[in-house]
C-alpha cells in the first residue's frame, strides 16, 4: 500500500490548521549610536538570531494579515482611560477610583490640559471626570515590596471630541505596547515601554547632562496579568549563554486596569507578537554610572564651595 506524501497530508488539513503561526523571535542587537562616547543611549536595531518561545494561541491567516498591517504603525506606548473623583490638596492632585486614591501628575507638555481640567471642575462643580492618562509605576529595589501606581494626565473627556483616543478606548482600558518580560524588581511580568527613537531626541540627549539623559530615557514597566499569552515573558538568566537566551518579544495589547488589585489584566491582542521591536532609546550601564557620579559631585558642590569661601576668608584675615 502506497503511503501518502507529506505534501498530500498537509493538503488534507483544514484552513485554520494550515494557518497556525510559529514565531521565531530574534535577539535585539544593542549598539551605541556613535563611537565618540559611551554615554550616548543604546539603540535597538534589527535582530539577528533567535531562541524560539513556546507559543500557545494560534492565529488564523486572515487575522494575521489584519494584524500585520498594524505592525507598520507600531510604537512604544502606554495610554488609557480612567474615571474617578479628582481633588486637589496642598498643591497636589489626586484621583479617587472605587475608594482607592492615586496621585495624578502632569508635565509641562500637558500643563494646558491640567489647567483646563481645573477650570472644568470649578465651572461645573463636577469632580467625577473621565481622564486620558499615562500610567506611572514606581518599582522598588526589593522584589517583595509592592510597586506604586499613579497616573499622568494627558487630557480629559469634555465630550467635544469625535475621534480622539477617548472615543477609541473604553473606561479603564489601556493600550500597552512594549517588550514582554520579567524585570528583577517585580514578581509580575511587565510590558516595558521605552522611549521611541527620533533624531531630535537623540540630539537632545547628546547635549543633556547625564542625570537628565537617564531621566529622559527611563522606561515604564507596567505589570500585566496575561495567563494565556502566546509566548512566555522573557526572563534574564545570567547562567544561560547570551546566544541561547533569546530576547523579549514586542507586544501590542489592550488591557483593563483593575484598581482592586492594582494591576493591569490582558483584554485583547492588537497585533501579532513581533520579533523586531520599533527602534528605541535605552540607557546603558556607562550612562547610569556617569549619572551616579554626576549626582555625587553635584551634592558635594555646595560643601566644596563653602570650604573654598572659608579658606579664602582665612587667607584674607591672615594677610591683613
DSSP 193-216: EPEEP-HHHHHHHHHS-HHHHHHH
Residues 45 and 178 in one domain: yes
Q: Is the pLDDT of residue 239 over 80?
A: yes
Give domain status of residue 4, yes or no. no
CA angle (179 as vertex; 174, 185 as ends), nearest 5: 90
Give domain status of residue 91, yes or no. yes
What pLDDT, on a 0 to 100 scale, did the predictor assign at position 279?
95
What does the pLDDT look like over 217-236, one tens digit per residue? 899 999 999 999 999 999 99
Domains held by the chain: number: 2
Residues 61 and 115 in one domain: no
Residues 184 and 282 in one domain: yes
Spatial CA neighbour of 172 closest among 149, 140, 139: 149
Binning pLDDT at 50, 70 and 90, where does residue 59 land?
A: very low
Burial of 53 (0-12, 13-18, 19+ CB in 10 A): buried
Q: Kindly report which listed range (40-54, 236-250, 251-265) carries the lowest average pLDDT score.
A: 40-54
Binning pLDDT at 50, 70 and 90, where does residue 194 land?
A: very high
Please name the residues in contact with 223: beta carbons below 8 A apart, sequence gap of 6 or more: 137, 147, 186, 188, 189, 190, 263, 264
Residue 40 or residue 262, greater confidence: 262
For residue 299, the Cα-to-chain-centroid distance in whole angstroms is 30
Residue 99 sits in a domain whose CATH number is 2.40.50
Which residues form the domain of 167?
A: 76-171
Residues 160 and 266 in one domain: no
Residues 176 and 157 in one domain: no
Give domain status of residue 22, yes or no. no
Record the cell numbers describing residue 23, joined without a space.
514565531
Give domain status of residue 82, yes or no. yes
45: which DSSP letter?
Answer: E
> Are 222 and 78 contacting, i.e. CB atoms less than 8 angstroms apart?
yes
CA atoms of 151 and 155, how far apart (whole Å): 11
Give domain status of residue 196, yes or no. yes
Residues 214 and 247 in one domain: yes
Give domain status of residue 264, yes or no. yes
What does the pLDDT look like over 294-303, one tens digit per residue? 777 776 555 4
Instruction: Please give the model's pTM, rounded to 2 decimal places.
Output: 0.71
Give domain status of residue 124, yes or no. yes
Residues 144 and 86 in one domain: yes
Residues 223 and 132 in one domain: no
What does the pLDDT look like over 158-178, one tens digit per residue? 877 667 889 999 999 999 999
Residues 242 and 291 in one domain: yes
| Among 154, 171, 188, residue at a domain's last position | 171
- Going by their DSSP bridges, the two strands 250-258 and 263-269 should be labelled as antiparallel
Residues 259 and 274 in one domain: yes
Percent with pLDDT over 90 in the chain: 53
CA atoms of 134 and 137, how far apart (whole Å): 10
Residues 186 and 264 in one domain: yes
| Among 152, 171, 190, residue at a domain's last position | 171
| Among 123, 144, 171, residue at a domain's last position | 171
Residues 110 and 140 in one domain: yes
CA atoms of 162 and 71, how far apart (whole Å): 25
- Going by their DSSP bridges, the two strands 195-196 and 250-258 should be labelled as unpaired
What does the pLDDT look like over 267-296, one tens digit per residue? 999 999 999 999 999 887 777 777 777 777
Give domain status of residue 70, yes or no. yes
Amino acid at each position: 500500500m502506497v503511503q501518502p506524501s507529506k505534501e498530500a497530508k498537509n493538503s488534507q488539513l483544514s484552513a485554520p490548521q494550515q494557518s497556525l503561526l510559529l514565531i521565531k523571535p530574534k535577539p535585539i542587537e544593542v549598539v551605541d549610536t556613535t563611537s565618540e562616547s559611551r554615554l550616548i543611549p543604546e539603540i535597538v536595531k534589527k535582530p539577528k538570531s533567535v531562541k524560539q518561545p513556546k507559543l500557545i494561541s494560534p492565529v488564523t491567516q486572515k487575522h494575521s494579515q489584519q494584524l500585520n498591517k498594524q505592525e507598520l504603525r507600531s510604537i512604544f506606548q502606554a495610554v488609557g482611560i480612567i474615571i474617578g473623583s479628582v481633588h486637589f490638596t496642598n498643591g497636589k492632585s489626586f484621583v479617587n477610583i472605587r475608594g482607592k486614591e492615586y496621585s495624578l501628575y502632569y508635565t509641562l507638555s500637558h500643563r494646558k490640559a491640567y489647567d483646563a481640567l481645573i477650570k472644568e471642575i470649578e465651572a461645573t462643580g463636577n469632580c467625577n471626570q473621565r481622564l486620558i492618562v499615562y500610567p506611572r509605576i514606581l518599582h522598588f529595589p526589593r522584589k517583595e515590596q509592592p510597586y506604586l501606581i499613579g497616573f499622568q494626565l494627558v487630557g480629559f473627556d469634555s465630550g467635544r471630541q469625535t475621534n480622539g483616543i477617548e472615543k477609541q478606548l473604553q473606561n479603564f482600558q489601556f493600550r500597552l505596547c512594549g517588550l514582554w518580560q520579567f524585570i528583577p524588581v517585580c514578581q509580575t511580568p511587565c510590558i516595558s515601554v521605552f522611549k521611541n527613537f527620533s533624531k531630535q531626541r537623540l540630539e537632545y540627549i547628546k547635549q543633556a547632562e547625564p542625570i537628565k539623559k537617564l531621566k529622559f530615557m527611563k522606561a515604564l514597566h507596567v505589570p500585566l496579568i496575561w495567563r494565556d499569552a502566546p509566548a512566555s515573558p522573557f526572563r534574564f538568566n545570567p547562567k544561560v549563554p547570551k546566544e541561547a537566551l533569546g530576547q523579549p518579544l514586542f507586544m501590542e495589547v489592550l488591557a483593563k486596569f483593575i484598581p482592586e488589585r492594582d494591576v493591569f489584566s490582558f483584554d485583547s491582542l492588537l497585533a501579532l507578537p513581533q520579533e523586531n521591536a520599533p527602534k528605541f532609546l535605552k540607557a546603558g550601564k556607562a550612562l547610569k554610572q556617569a549619572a551616579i557620579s554626576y549626582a555625587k559631585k553635584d551634592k558635594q558642590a555646595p560643601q566644596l564651595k563653602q570650604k573654598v569661601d572659608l579658606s579664602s576668608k582665612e587667607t584674607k584675615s591672615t594677610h591683613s
